[in-house]
Homo-oligomer: A and B are copies of this chain.
Amino acid sequence: MSNSDLSSEYGHSLDKKSEGQEVPGAPTCRRRVKTSFLKGVSYISGDMEVFGKWMEKQFFLLQLLDWVLRGAAQAMFVNNPLSGLIIFGGLILQNYWWALNGFIGTLFANISALILQQNRGAIAAGLYGYNGILVGMLMAVFSTAGDWYWWLLLPNIFMSMMCPVVSSALASINSRWDLPVFTLPFNILVCVHMVATGHYNHYFPQVLIQPPSELPNISWADIDVAKLFRSVPVGIGQVYGCDNPWTGGMFIISLFISSPITCIHAVVGSAVGMVSGLALAAPFENIYNGIWGYNSALACVAVGGMFYALTWQVHLLAITCAFFSAYLGSAIANIMSRFGLPACTWPFCLSTLIFLLLTTGTKRIFKLPLAEVTYPEKNLAFYWKLKKQEKEQQKAIQEEIQRNEKELLRIELQRMEQDKNKDSQVEVKVPEEESQVCEDGGNGRNGLTEVILAK
């Protein structure tokens, strides 16, 4: 979801602009501080492109660590090692064993991608790690063998190493529609592991998940508003299977560092999911646990600025997608529970794919080419640049048309004058031929005009 060639171009132009604003007027102390602050921010925000470039010349193990950190953050569409570091912090806060499994998952997913000689740029952007961290984390989360059951690392490593295989396969299909694979490889592989072993397994038992078989006991009097509000960060934490609100809070911070737009949409999405849960009469316990939030949060981020350029229309579309994602989430959770499976992030993947496949007649809903997707702020810059170019082109065409019309008028005038001459000198044949030549010339220009317009 990153394109380093392009990002450099924009990154620099943005830098120049912010520096350029300082040129007129005397450089006061405050301004200098502001400049260096902005420069500092540009180093750690976005996709930390300068850092990424610097990393390319470093020791291999350090590079691998960078990829692992970026991979950890890419589960939330963030290509930023600092965000990844904070996310790992959040995971450790939640549970040491889970964090370890997540780390091993990311590591082996990257190793497998290297063995299979996948695209180095995609690996460096963390695009081969995020399924790994989710596979590792969630396999630990749903295991009932208890923490520090070391045998779990075996299927963890195998499934993590399968991530790039499944990613590459799905990309072969999705790329036909210029769509990303999202967390589909994670969904497939974790579901395969969980249902292959199941609750009744000697080596790798899973938590027992069963479909609802009676009316849940819901009374609005029992509602706990504080827990409802807390469900928003918990919902974001549930992307990684974490139910600790502080962990969710750290994730929000990690998103804000890289991209405020992403951060806002994640929070809005999680809130939309919570409201959907209330609207569909879900048991309060599920809503408090953030089960209704994570799919909506992811869907809202993906549609709201990540794969579409952010406009008001797109913002509304993102919120609609978050609602639909929550609805679909409830549906998929009920279906999967028949097989003893959790919903994973299937609802997010499917709803977002539907909204990305949507084609509309309006230009205000602009889907970025997959190769140009970086992060919402840069995507927006790309969209604006494109619009500006288009306007200029249209202006140039209009000017061309005007020029041609003037030329035609001039020729017409010339011809009329020559016609007059012709009328006065009936006996002379030569000028008529000239006039014909001139007419041809006029037609020739006319044809040229048409060709230009046809372009």
Interface residues of A (CB under 8 A from B): 116-119, 158, 162, 165-166, 168-173, 176-177, 191-193, 195-198, 200-204, 212-216, 218, 279-281, 320, 323-324, 327-331, 334-335, 338-339, 353-362
Contacts and interface: CB of A to CB of B under 8 A. Distances in A.
A361 to B, nearest CB: 3
Given A158-B327, A192-B331, A338-B338, 9 more contacts: A116-B358, A117-B360, A117-B362, A118-B361, A158-B323, A165-B324, A193-B331, A197-B280, A198-B212
Contacts of A162: 324
A192 B327 contact: yes
B119 A169 contact: no
A359 B168 contact: yes
Nearest to A217: B202
Contacts of A216: 200, 202
A215 B204 CA distance: 12
User: Which applies to chain A's interface (DSSP): helix, strand, loop or mixed?
Assistant: helix
A204 to B, nearest CB: 7
5 contacts: A168-B359, A168-B360, A169-B353, A195-B335, A197-B330
A166 B162 CA distance: 30
A116 B355 CA distance: 12
A357 B202 contact: no
Interface centre among A117, A216, A353, A355 (most CB of B within 10 A): A117
A362 B319 CA distance: 43
A122 B334 CA distance: 35
B200 A360 contact: no
B204 A334 contact: no
A445 to B, nearest CB: 31
A331 B212 contact: no
A168 B358 contact: yes
Contacts of A359: 168, 171-172
A339 B338 contact: yes
A165 B323 contact: no
Contacts of A355: 165, 169
Contacts of A177: 172-173
B361 A117 contact: yes
A325 B94 CA distance: 34
